[in-house]
A and B are shown apart, each in its own frame.
Chain A
C-alpha cells in the first residue's frame, strides 16, 4: 500500500482582484482573486519552497527520497526536477522526471509514484505540481488562472491518506495548444465543446468508472475534490454525487485555478473535514483527460500543519493593480 505522508505548498504573496481585471476590460464585476508570481518567482523557486515544506511536514530527510516528479502545464526554460532534487539536498542517484502540458499530470505522477513505492523501487517519492500561467490579456483564462506550487511526499508508512484505487479516462480531445513562436496558448473557440466533451465527459467517466470498480456509492464518499471549474457541479451531478460533498475550495477563491497545484491544495484543505476511514474522491482534469483517485483517510491529522499553512497563505496577501499584473507577467516592460 502507498499513500500521501505530508504536503507543502507555496503561493505568491501578490494577488489581483478580479474586479480589477474586469474594470480594465469594461466587463461585469466578478468576485474573487488570483495569485500572481513576482518577477523573481518562477516555476523552479515555487517548486523548491513547496518541496521543502513537504519534506518538513512529512519529517523525511531529503536523502531518503528515491524519485521526484515535477508536473506543470506552464512552459519551462529548462528541466526543473533535476535542479529541484539538488536544491532539496536529495541524493544524486535520485530519479527525476518532468511531466507537463496538462493540469492532470499531477494525478498521473501520484499514480506513477505510488506504483514505484509499492514495487519497492523507492521508499519515498515527491510529487510537485506547479503552475505560473501566462494567459492572454482579455481572455477568460486571465480571470481564472493563478500561480501556485504544492508538493506531497508519497510513502508506505505513516500515511495521512492511502490510495485505494484509481481510474483514468483519456482521449484525443485537445482544447488548448501551443504554436511555436506564439506568446500565448491558443484554445478552441467553442466553450461548450471544451466544457461538455472535455471536462464533463472525462472527469465524470473517470470518477464513475472508479466508483463502479471499487463498488462504492456516492454516499460512501466524505469529500469529493474536482479540478477547479465553473462546471464542477455538473460533473458531480453526472456522477450522482450530492452537491454537499463537493469541496468548495477556499484556495480556489483565494488563488484562482492553480492548474497542477490545484488538486493537491484541495486535498490539504479537505484533510480537516475528514476522520480516519473516510473516503475522498479526487478527480483531476487537463488536456487529454482525467484521473480519478480514491483516497482513504488514515491519519488526516498529519496534514493539520499543512492546512494551517495553507490558510495563512490565503490570508497573507498584497493586492496589486492591473498594470502591475501585466508588468509581473512581462507583458509590458521597459523598452529594450
Chain B
C-alpha cells in the first residue's frame, strides 16, 4: 500500500468520518464514492457524518493465511462485518479477542490501532474490540 493512499484515507481512518447518501440514506465508508453503492444515485454534495463506534458483529471469519503485517499481528486474524448502532455496515479486524471467543451478535467498539508498519512507520486504522457488558 503506497503512502499517498494512506494519506488520502487518513481522515476516514483517524476520525471515523463517513458519508450518508442524499437519496437512500445508506452510510458509505470509507467516503470516496461519488455514486451510492446501494441506490446508484450520483452524490452531488457530500453529506458527512461521524460514525458511532459501537456496534455488533454480523458475521466473521478467522484467517490463518498470513497477510500484510503478519509478522507482528498474526495469523490468526479475525475478520468481522459489523452493524454500527447509528447505521453503517463495515468490515474490519477484531483485536483483543481469541478466535474461539468471537460470536455473532457480540458487542464491539471501534478503536484506533496500528495496522502494519510501512518503512518503519506505523499505519493506523480502526479495529473492532470486544465490549464487556
Contacts and interface: CB of A to CB of B under 8 A. Distances in A.
A123 to B, nearest CB: 21
Contact of B132 (A45, A87, A316): A316
B114 A49 contact: no
A278 interface: no
B122 A39 contact: no
Interface residues of B, number: 20
Of listed A78, A87, A316, residue having the most chain B CB within 10 A: A87
A77 B96 contact: no
A312 B120 CA distance: 34
A124 interface: no
A45 B96 contact: no
B73 interface: yes
Given A45-B112, A87-B15, A316-B132, A40 B121 contact: no
Contacts of A312: 132
B112 A48 contact: yes
Interface residues of A, number: 21
A40 B95 contact: yes
Contact of B121 (A77, A89, A316): A77
Contacts of A41: 113-114
B15 A86 contact: yes
Contacts of B132: 312, 316
B15 A77 contact: no
13 contacts: A38-B95, A40-B127, A44-B112, A44-B124, A45-B111, A45-B112, A45-B124, A48-B14, A48-B112, A77-B120, A77-B122, A83-B14, A86-B15
Interface of A: 13, 38-42, 44-45, 48-49, 77-78, 83, 86-87, 89, 312, 316, 318, 333-334
